[in-house]
């Protein structure tokens, strides 16, 4: 077992975007929207957690190359009354891609939201029958050319 040898590969611009969803009780999403979660703002905390996770991916995933991450953007929104969606985009100029970093950022952000609202999600037996992380996937990857920046970045 060994890491893939990327020594001879050139450094090029790479970007990957991953998304995922967290199903919650409608009452929990209302608390998030109202800013009434006891632990604080789950979206703000989850964004920080996602960035830190992307930067530490090679410490979490065996045989994953440590990369010089140049940007991580984690976006979180309540897309409806029971669903939170996380989108993480990671950039680098390196010899290998950042798909794992985007996936780890998304998964960690989703787990962080769950952790911050778990007290509202438990049923009377202390279980989580409504809470579900789903559909974590890479939705886009780019290699070799930088996508044009929007004016607000």
Residue pair 3/65 in contact (Cβ under 8 Å)? The answer is yes
> pLDDT digits over 94-120, tens only?
999 999 999 999 999 999 999 999 999
Which burial class, exposed, middle or buried, applies to 123 when counting CB atoms under 10 A from its CB (0-12, 13-18, 19+)? exposed
Low-confidence ranges of the chain (pLDDT < 70): 146-153
Q: Which of 5, 41, 115, 152 is catalytic?
A: 115
Residue pair 33/78 in contact (Cβ under 8 Å)? The answer is yes
pLDDT of residue 18: 98
Three-state SS for 119-135 is HHHCCCCCCCCCCEEEE
- Which domains does the chain possess? 12-139 (3.30.70.640)
Which candidate, 130, 134, 135, 133, places its Cα nearest to that of 27? 130
Query: What pTM did the predictor assign?
Result: 0.92
Is 115 one of the annotated active-site residues of the chain? yes
């Amino acid at each position: 077992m060994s890491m893939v040898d990327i020594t001879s590969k050139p450094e090029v611009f790479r970007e990957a975007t991953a998304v995922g969803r967290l199903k919650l009780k409608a009452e929990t999403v209302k608390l998030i929207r109202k800013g009434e979660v006891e632990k604080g703002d789950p979206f703000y905390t989850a964004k920080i957690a996602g960035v830190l996770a992307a930067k530490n991916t090679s410490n979490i995933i065996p045989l994953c190359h440590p990369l010089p991450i140049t940007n991580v953007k984690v976006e979180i929104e309540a897309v409806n009354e029971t669903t939170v969606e996380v989108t993480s985009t990671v950039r680098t100029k390196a010899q290998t891609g950042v798909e794992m970093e985007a996936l780890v950022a998304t998964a960690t952000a989703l787990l962080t939201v769950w952790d911050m609202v778990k007290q509202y999600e438990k049923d009377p037996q202390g279980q989580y029958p409504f809470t579900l992380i789903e559909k974590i996937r890479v939705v886009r990857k780019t290699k070799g050319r930088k996508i044009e920046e929007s004016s607000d970045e």
